[in-house]
Amino acid sequence: MKIGYARCSTSIQDHALQLDALKKAGCEKVFTETASGSNAGRFELAKVLELARTGDTIVVWRLDRLARSLRHLIDISEDLQRRGIALRSLTENIDTSSASGRFMFAILGALGQMEREIIVERTRAGLEASRARGRVGGRPPALDEAKVRAARAMLAAGTMSAIEVAKQVGCAPSTLYRHLPGGRGAVVVEQGLAAAA
């Protein structure tokens, strides 16, 4: 069975051109959708992918009607290939039921892989360059050493609760406990051991 999928980005656009092409291509069922290509929640596309069975062909007017990015297109095509479902694009004249169509998708897959590797390399190079300049990524620590010492002293004094101490040093109680595991009890024991030594 040939299943057609037509998508327009806005309600102002018309599906007519795509629908005519899909009917001419022999699609028995056609699903239409009005949604942005960047929108992950496309319900009609989900129905198409769920309905399609081994031996079926999903037909689109153009590949950009189906997927929101090259990576998304490759993911969809790999899923369809695993399930024995062909993908046909009328405008680009690609049909994965043929050897040349599968070859074209293999090239797209290789380009997608190369794109991912280039992004990883650039990110790694950027992080290394930042480290070389003395910059470290991530959020700054909530508690520096001076605040940890102050919190330790307040807990040892026993006049404030851990929640109040956390508020005084400007952090969450969980952050305080991460820096001072065991809370007041651990601080008191630590100070007792230090005094005995």
Q: What is the pLDDT of residues 157-185, one digit of tens each?
A: 888 888 999 999 998 988 988 888 877 77
3-class secondary structure, 59: strand
Cite the beta strand spans of the chain per DSSP E. Answer: 2-8, 29-34, 57-60, 86-89, 94-95
Asked if pLDDT for residue 73 goes beyond 70, the answer is: yes
Residues with a known catalytic role: 9
102 with 7, same domain? yes
User: Does residue 133 belong to any structural domain of this protein?
Assistant: no
User: Does residue 119 belong to any structural domain of this protein?
Assistant: no
Q: How far is Cα 61 from Cα 39, in angstroms, rounded to an integer?
A: 19
User: Does residue 136 belong to any structural domain of this protein?
Assistant: no
| pLDDT category of residue 197 using cuts at 50, 70 and 90 | low
Q: What is the pLDDT of residues 110-149, one digit of tens each?
A: 777 787 788 889 989 988 888 888 887 777 778 888 999 8
23 with 101, same domain? yes
Q: What is the pLDDT of residue 57?
A: 94
Q: What is the pLDDT of residues 23-53, one digit of tens each?
A: 999 999 999 988 765 656 688 999 999 999 9
The string of DSSP codes covering 69-97 is SHHHHHHHHHHHHHTT-EEEETTTTEETT
Q: What is the pLDDT of residue 193?
A: 61
The token pair that represents 175 in the structure block? 């952050």
Q: What is the pLDDT of residue 192?
A: 64
If one counts the domains in the chain, the total is: 2
Q: How far is Cα 122 from Cα 103, in angstroms, rounded to an integer?
A: 29
Domain enclosing residue 53, as ranges: 2-111
| 89, 111, 133 - which closes a domain | 111
User: Does residue 130 belong to any structural domain of this protein?
Assistant: no
Q: How far is Cα 190 from Cα 175, in angstroms, rounded to an integer?
A: 19
pTM of the model: 0.56
User: Does residue 14 belong to any structural domain of this protein?
Assistant: yes
User: Does residue 155 belong to any structural domain of this protein?
Assistant: yes
96 with 177, same domain? no
Q: What is the pLDDT of residues 149-160, one digit of tens each?
A: 899 888 888 888
